[in-house]
Amino acid sequence: MAASRRLRVHVRCLGLLVARLVCAGRPAPRPAALPVFGHLADVGVGKLANGFASPPHVRMFELAQSAQGGEVMELQMGAQEWTVLSSPRAVHDAFVVKGGDLAGRPMVPSMAVSSGGGQGFARERPDAGLRSLRRAAFTELFSPAQVARARVELDAEAEALVRHLLAVGVVELRPALRRCVCNMVVRYAFSARVPYATEPSDGTDERVRELMETADAVWEQLTAPAITAADLLAPTLAGATHGELRKLVARRDALLRALIDERVAGGAASGVRGDGDMLDRLLGAGLTDAQVLYSLVDLFIAGVNTVSATLEWALLLTARHAHAQATARRAALEPGADLAYVRALIDETLRFKPPLLLPRMALRDTDVLGFAVPAGRVCFANSHALSFGAAQWTEPERFRPSRWLREERGLSTWGEDAPAGAHAFTSEERAKFIPFSIGQRSCPGERLARAELEAATLALLRAARWDAVGTVDLREAYSLTLVPQSSQALRFQPL
Ligand code: HEM
């Protein structure tokens, strides 16, 4: 009796082992690498030495296409092991089919400092706290009604940007666009703004100005090559290397706390008051104090430079491609404005200069397309590979907004029903264009981001034309998001 029970246990264990071996899959291809630095020495050098080597996302795509790599491959990025995904079917398998297994987020030391150890959306593991935040994000904070309510504010801010650009004439884009998007976000969150140098500044809340400047300085730290190198190569020494970041984060959080406390106390005297803005919604959503604070932090970390970088690319690309600018302007000025081409222009910008997708982390042993991905492994979907895969796109190297009205019609729906005559894309085919990612950790701010991009693009097209001062430089720098390598000026003229 005991012997047969033992036999049954052995058989069950053997079964589990076989199931695990089958599930765990075979090792993914791994290009040759140096000891200690691993592939960072090859892939990462493009970030540290901008302009002298292919940036990391391009180098990873080259490796994926080489005989040593593949659509799923392993890279050793300093102290971290990464699984890199370079095709829509690999990304679909990872983030949709195995979505629950790959819903973690690696917490590098700098992100841990900025997020209070992962108290907002930036959590290593999806837990009850993250679920309640994401629910609040989709149903309240960035719901269609909340974003539609803010549209008038976004349009007003976009018009202020255009007035500023036209007042200056030849303008360095990056600071102006950051100010515009920061103001959009701060109007959305606190009903406040900070004027441009070309506007009167009477009555500006100086704490809001300091908050913006501090949030900007935190971003500079988070994207500094030295911080990235310390995160990847010597995470245990980050206590010593991240001192300045800690100071800035403490100041940013103190300023945010003061604004929250004042709202709670009904402090109308500050001039910062809500009328159903995001802070009002946050305070009414039954969240903890930390969730309220770090959701606002996330708005600055995840919601400013992503949008302003996309606008920067859109302006540079349309300065280079005058025909696309003129076509979009005609569409924007039509009576009843045909938004389709304007949206196509934004989608083509997001495809041609694809924002980097944030790394995920495997929560348990799993596989992608049969290749083993052990628990704890960083999983990085390379958006550059998705955007430039020759099998997925017609002429991927050409900037061509009209593709979105032709062969790609219906691939990007802007949250609306697919237009008449749209192609029926499968869920796997859709994974070739995921600027906001897909699955359990996808971007909760997509609706707000798209509304901001549309408001700014329309306002610019309707009131100004722009062209290059010298040669437009479209080279890319790899950071937390993909930005133009140099901050450039364009010439703006009234229509
Ligand atoms: C063009 C603009 C934007 C782009 C391209 C973008 C893209 C992304 C991507 C790729 C991710 C990672 C998703 C994943 O791992 O599946 C993400 C996450 C996130 N985004 Fe955005 N985003 C943009 C704007 C915004 C805005 C405006 C907000 C806030 C209002 C926002 C808030 C967030 C947050 C909180 C997360 C973390 C979600 C989580 O870990 O659960 N993003 N975004």
8 C-alpha to ligand 1 centroid (Å): 49
Question: Residue 141, class by beta-carbon neighbours within 10 Å (0-12 exposed, 13-18 middle, 19+ buried)?
Answer: buried
Tokens in use for 107? 């917490």
Residues with CB under 6 A from ligand 1: 105, 121-122, 298-299, 302-303, 306-307, 310, 355, 357-358, 360, 435-437, 439, 441-445, 448-449
Residue 136 inside a domain? The answer is yes
Q: Whose CA is nearest to atom 27 of ligand 1?
A: 303
pLDDT along the chain (495 residues), means of 10: 50 46 78 80 65 82 94 91 97 97 93 90 92 91 92 97 98 97 94 92 86 94 85 72 91 95 70 72 89 92 95 98 96 84 97 96 98 97 97 97 95 85 91 97 96 98 96 90 93 97
Tokens in use for 203? 């009555």
Residue 13 confidence (pLDDT): 44
Q: Which of 412, 482, 408 is nearest to 446 (CA)?
A: 412
Residue 46 inside a domain? The answer is no
Known binding residue 443? Answer is: yes
Residue 92 inside a domain? The answer is no
Tokens in use for 168? 């200056």
Structural domain containing residue 216: 128-352+436-494
* CATH number of domain containing 347: 1.10.630.10
Q: Whose CA is nearest to atom 43 of ligand 1?
A: 443
Q: For every residue of 311-376, which 3-state class applies, written as one string? A: HHHHHHHHHHCHHHHHHHHHHHHCCCCCHHHHHHHHHHHHHHCCCCCCCEECCCCEEECCEEECCC
Residue 232 inside a domain? The answer is yes
Residue 239 confidence (pLDDT): 67
Q: Helix (H, G, I), strand (E, B), or coil: what is residue 223?
A: coil
Residue 154 inside a domain? The answer is yes
Q: Which of 39, 162, 15 is nearest to 457 (CA)?
A: 162
Residue 205 inside a domain? The answer is yes
Residue 331 confidence (pLDDT): 93
Residue 273 inside a domain? The answer is yes
Residue 17 confidence (pLDDT): 46
Count up the domains in the chain and report the number. Answer: 1
Residue 262 inside a domain? The answer is yes
